[in-house]
Amino acid sequence: MEITREQPFPLTFTQEGFDASSNYAVTIMDDHSNDLSEIPVTSNSSGTISTPLPSYYSRYDDEYRVEIYESTGTNEDGSSILGDLVFVDTLSISRPYFDVTTLSDDEDEIEELRQYESIAKSIIDSITGGFQYKREMVETVGLGNDYLALPYRLNKIVKVVENNITVFNSEDEEFTNLKDYYITPDHGAISIPMPYIPGGYNRLQSKPVTPQMPASDSFTLYNTNDSPNIIQNLAGSPFFPSGWDYTITAEIGWPVIPNDIKYCTRLLINDLKCNNLPYINAYISEYKSDQFSLKIEKEAFIRDMTGNRIVDRILSAYVRPIYHIGVL
């Protein structure tokens, strides 16, 4: 089932076909079967379950697994005692790229337009990578420099765990951050601000060029009278040392839908609804009358084309991101 992520909030989960006036538990998991929420509900006299979802689901686009169990009681911690599993389905929560209610006042037609909008959105996503707004967790390793690159379009840093120690948490009001982080201007990495260093900060990138002097060459690592040894540590150290483990939780993607993407969605909705691609948009390069013959350009069958030249020209400005290294 699909829930459109738009006002009014909170979003409401509704499902029919259950016993009347009975107790159930709605459990929601992510697409890797990790438990997220458990919501106790009671069906109405018609056997319909309807419950508001936590505010978390109103903020992000994602795919979930929803299961509904008969509830046979309550545990000491307040959670439901799960009985028989009676329902399983995929729950898709996503923000539309275009508000189809602006095109019609008829409820039946609006429902049809919603289907066309979903198809148009899928076509656009297959070419551009999509314009969703999500919450992602990524594990990575420091590379010995002052930037930690992450494979997403970053918007907000939620939590940072360094070597199994939480050093930053923006959602816990009582938590005192051990470090502060900021997102770099290209929205592709995080770093640590240093606003209080007079004259700037000499960032140490990669490994020191001068190797550290071993302790066996002197009584100490400091400058003494017995040898001209000096401290070998350069000023500063990398913010993300090589080999250190990091778990980053961040909000990623597009907070808003670009206007030109809305235009593209509307054009594709119109093409799908009317089943009418004009000759120029259907990649027809030649047309002859008298029991016509058509010649279609080969670009019409290329994977990253929509069949609408106007839409293709607009989408060409949005290069599909490469988040992971692969084989070319």
Q: Which domains does the chain have, with CATH numbers?
A: 2-95 (2.60.40), 109-132+258-323 (no CATH)
pLDDT higher than 90, residue 227 = no
Confidence of residue 35 (pLDDT cuts 50, 70, 90): very high
d(CA 116, CA 268): 8
Q: Across residues 259-263, what is the average pLDDT? A: 96
Predicted pLDDT of residue 49:
96
For residue 54, give the DSSP letter.
P
CA 89 remoteness from chain centre: 21
d(CA 74, CA 88): 22
pLDDT tens digits, residue range 116-169?
A: 999 999 999 988 999 999 999 999 999 888 889 999 999 999 999 999 999 999
d(CA 112, CA 122): 16
pLDDT tens digits, residue range 65-107?
A: 999 999 999 999 889 999 999 999 999 999 999 999 999 999 9
Encoding tokens for residue 143? 């590379």
Residue from 268, 212, 207 nearest 242 by CA: 207
182 compared with 218, residue with greater pLDDT: 182
d(CA 268, CA 100): 12
pLDDT higher than 50, residue 274 = yes
- Cβ neighbors of 328 (< 8 A, separation 6 or more) are none
Predicted pLDDT of residue 235:
45
Average pLDDT, the chain: 83
Encoding tokens for residue 312? 């293709």
